[in-house]
Copies of this chain bind each other. A is one copy, B any other.
């Protein structure tokens, strides 16, 4: 059984920067990395949901990996994890192998989402093949049933894997089943790194002892979350709640203006233009952007944003 460094702190799930007509804009990734560092973010979860991995070609995903690998070279404190999920196991395997070759800290894998694994056994078999293609780096399972439609619980997955995947380091948990989440924290003496993936509920995960998190709003509002973690650690719960409430104010605007794509609008506001999302996601209209900008001012985003 390998032991990987336990991740404590904020790991951003970066947006994939695009030019105006939708091609990759990799030139700004060094700046993106510096922004995250400046804001004490400790890693990047690339090609994930926020990074639109599924909307890219295999070739593009490799370019993104390469760009992050180069931008972060020499900074072993900064962990880059690449999502290799997809519906073709062979493609996931190839991407896993490439991720290790590029010197990333780890890979993540999510359930196939067209045909869904019917049992924990099948899902574990998929994980086994992918993890084996990057045997020297950390493997995380990415649990996001609302998008994959795979409803295997993580406790069932861990019980089925049962230590048979040496580099299985943990789970990025993007779901509200706190009972399953806490059960995984207690699994096998606490050996799994359970990374919380719902920024709007982070305080509830902190209470369960989860101090590592992967999220999209850490791209543009990292200080808020670091303050929340500090407040929680000092026992200042009222302050922590206030900060969680302000995080919710930020996230509520995502719902109001069309979902995940609103994140790139926040990025524009803080000065790192990542372009737009690709189809099948919808970007705000100019009118919506104007209204959004006003709402952003009303919630006091300037006090909380990344700098």
A-side residues, CB < 8 A to B, are 49, 54-58, 60, 87-91, 94, 111-119, 122-123, 125-126, 129, 147-149, 176-179, 182-183, 185-186, 200-201, 203-209, 232, 235, 237-238, 240-241, 244-245, 248, 251, 258-260, 278-282
Contacts and interface: CB of A to CB of B under 8 A. Distances in A.
16 contacts: A89-B278, A111-B280, A114-B148, A115-B147, A118-B280, A122-B280, A179-B200, A182-B203, A182-B241, A182-B245, A182-B248, A203-B207, A204-B205, A204-B207, A206-B207, A235-B235
Given A117-B279, A118-B282, A122-B282, 17 more contacts: A54-B112, A54-B115, A55-B87, A57-B91, A58-B91, A89-B279, A113-B114, A114-B147, A114-B148, A122-B281, A129-B279, A179-B201, A186-B245, A203-B208, A207-B237, A208-B244, A209-B237
A279 B122 contact: yes
Nearest to A111: B280
The majority secondary structure among interface residues of chain A is helix
A182 B172 CA distance: 23
Sorted from nearest, which 10 A-B pairs have the closest CB atoms? A204-B204, A207-B207, A54-B87, A176-B176, A179-B200, A54-B114, A117-B280, A178-B201, A112-B280, A178-B204
A279 B129 CA distance: 10
A196 to B, nearest CB: 11
Contacts of A251: 179
Contacts of A179: 200-201, 248, 251
